[in-house]
Structures are given as C-alpha cells and as structure tokens.
Structure 1
Amino acid sequence: MNLNYPLILGSKSPRRKEILTKAGFEFSTEAKDTEESYPLDMPHTEVAAFLAEKKGQAFAEDEKYTDKIILTADTTVLIDNELLEKPQDEEEAFSMLSKLSGRAHQVVSGFCVLLNGKFEKYSDETLVYFNPIEEEMIWDYIRNHKPFDKAGAYGIQEGIGLTHIEKLEGSYFTVMGLPIHKVYQALAAYSKG
C-alpha cells in the first residue's frame, strides 16, 4: 500500500515490526518510553486502546512528527476479568501461565493512528483456548524464552504458545500484538489508491 505520508511504527516490538513488514508496508521504527498506567475504573477491554493512544500522545508533542503517520499499539490479556500484564519475575510468570493452563482467555490488541494531532484508536479481541500445561513445561518455557516483555507471560509464536494453544476465536495477529486486518483498513484512508 502506498501511503500519502511516511509511516512510523512507534514500538520496540519485533513482532509488530514483523507483522507490518509481512503486510507490505514501508515504515521506520521509533519508540518513546511511555508510562503504562490507566484509570483503575476503566473497563479492562478498553485498556489496550487507551495505552496505544497514550503511546501516540508521546509523538504528538514533537513537531518533527508533523505530516507523518504514527502507529502505536498495546496488547492486554484477560482471564476472569483480571488483567494479566507483563510479568515482573519468574514467579509471576508462572502464576499467570498456571491461570491460563487448560482455560480460555481474551487477548485484546489496541492500536492508535496519529496524523497531525488527530488520533483514531481501535481494538480487536481474540479468544484463546489453552490445553493444560504441565508445571515442568511452564518452568522450562519461562527459563528458555524469558517472556517478561509479553502480557500474560507468553508469545503465541514460540514455545507453549506453539504447542499448547488448542484454538483461537479471532485473529492470530491480534494475539501476536497487532490486528493487521484492522490496521490495513485504518491506513487505507491515507493511501494513494
């Protein structure tokens, strides 16, 4: 897709970069550190889009991003209406993966498109079904893959994500961190046709 403005992916995530590249977009990557807090009374399904917009606001404050499309994103994992964020250590990662074992959970990926001070935010949700995971397998995954940069302590494209997810209701790429089908539709508004 040929866009009318340069595209910047505002993320350090190698997974989001890979998805956007495979979808055929030309872009550069820049990330700004953003404090990832949200109102405690916010519905958990809205947190990902809220944080994606917050990440976009970090770019809006800088004039050098005028006439550039900024794409930011965030992913959250929910089970029993509990938000599973990025684990702080091995014990927290083990606790999260134990909760997900043999159960279904929601993954919500939100993204924000920013151009010249105008924000548009979107989100997409996928239901993920995990087969039961043995304790030894969980510890092995944590030690080998160190999933401390991933909401819910796992990546769908590696380790137990590959071997223990039984089925999805929704988009694989939403679980990976970027609902590319919705991103494509959103960016089409800025294409040369």
Structure 2
Amino acid sequence: MGTLSPTLVLGSASPRRAELLRQLGANFTIRSADIDETPIHDELPRDYVQRMAREKSEALESGNDTVLLTADTTVVLDNKSLGKPADFADAQTMLEALSGRSHEVYTAVCLRQETQCKAVLVRTLVEFGELSDRLIKDYLATDEPWDKAGSYAIQGKGGSFVRRIDGSVSNVIGLPMLETRELLMQFAIAPVLKEPGT
C-alpha cells in the first residue's frame, strides 16, 4: 500500500496565490491567518516577510496529515517596504516614487508539517519606465492597485509599467512557482503538471 499524501492548506486569503498554486496542479484548501502585521522598528524588509510567513504558519494548526503553506510579499524601494496603499494619495505617492526606477520584490514562502518547517526567500528586481501623472491617475481609476503591495499588479495593467525584470515574475505576483514546487516535493506533495484526463 502506498502512503497517502498529506493535505495541503494554503494559509492565505490572496486570490493570486491560490491561482498560482492551482497552476501547479496542487489540490488544497484555504484558511487565512489573522496576525499582527506591524513591522518591528528597524526591521529589514527581507526579515519582515520571512517573519510574517512564519508567524502566519504558527497561527494555524497543523497535524501530521496536513502541510501548511504560508507566504508574504513586499515591494522594496530604498530599503523601505511599500505595502498596500491606504488611499488614493498613498498609491499615487508610491507609483511616483517607483517611476523610472528599479525596485525589489521579496516573497517568503514557508511550509510546515507539525515540527518540520522549511522556508525560502525569493528576490526579484523590477525596473519601471517613466510614469506620467496622467498614466498614474488613469491607473488609479481602475480596481487593480488597491490590494497590491506597491500599488501595482504586474499580471495586469501594471505590467505595462515594467521596462525590465530580473528574476521570477510569479514571485512579484505573490508566490514564486519554481521554489514553491520544490518545497512541495520535499513534503511529498507532487504537483500534477498535466491536464485532467491525460
């Protein structure tokens, strides 16, 4: 008899992470963790996302037959995290700051099964072209930027801002797929990269 694969739980309410995980062919359920996401004073952005991914995991119960996947993403400019915009003015300020410059995107992914825990940190460098005031205001008139770190979605209209990208595109969306697939396989969850019925 073969060993049953553990149940995968995505500890995130992000529809983008869920969609990326589905693209890997993984079967999973969703449970979001409610934690305090306030940064610690002088905490580096890369340390912050790793702590958030770990604390989200610790806030959810995990049994021997369950693997928890949690993640956190931040956009970083001048060593400061740009979170989700609070309002129009906040989003406008972020996009003006990103215009014509390069920034980093960090995602930390954590997988945990009882006492076993593995994590990975992925960095992507993104360069924006110049964004005019008109372009920024037109973009902010859409529904796209409001729940996104850095006030843009690379998989949507915001992708037209990108001049160059160095690293994983899926990392910028919120879940680096290569590293996530490799972590899943370490927990005996083999993604099914084939169409149903084949």
TM-score, normalised to structure 1, is 0.91
Matching residue within 145, 154, 158 for 1:156:
154
Alignment partner, residue 189 of structure 1: 186
Return the alpha-carbon distance in structure 2 between the equivalents of residues 35 and 44 of structure 1. 16
| 2:11 pairs with 1:10 | yes
Q: Which residue of 2 aligns with 1:55?
A: 56
In structure 2, stretches of 5+ residues that fail to align are 191-198
Comparing 182-191 with 69-78, which one deviates more in the overlay?
Answer: 182-191
1:173 paired residue number? 170
Partner of 1:28: 29
Alignment size in residue pairs: 188
Give the letter aligned to residue 26 of structure 1.
N
SS in 2 for 1:105: strand
Amino acid at match of 1:180: M
Larger of the two Rg values belongs to structure: 2
User: 1:137-176 CA deviation, whole Å, 9 max, x = no partner?
Assistant: 11121121252211111110111x2211011100000000
Shift in Å, 1:33:
1.8
Aligned residues with identical type, % of pairs: 35
Q: 1:192 to 1:164 in 2, by over 3 A?
A: closer
> Which structure 1 segments of 5+ residues have no match?
none
Contact kept? 1:78, 1:107, Cα under 8 Å: yes
CA RMSD of superposed structures (Å)? 1.8
1:136/1:55 Cα in 2 relative to 1: closer, same or farther (>3 Å)?
same
Q: CA deviation at 1:42?
A: 2.3
8 Å contact from structure 2 (residues 67, 113) kept in 1: yes
Structure 2 counterpart of 1:108, one-letter code? Y
CA distance in 1, matches of 2:111, 2:176: 13
CA contact (8 A) 1:3 1:190 kept: no
Task: Please show how residues 64-79 of structure 1 align to structure 2 within 5 Å.
Answer: 65-79=63-77
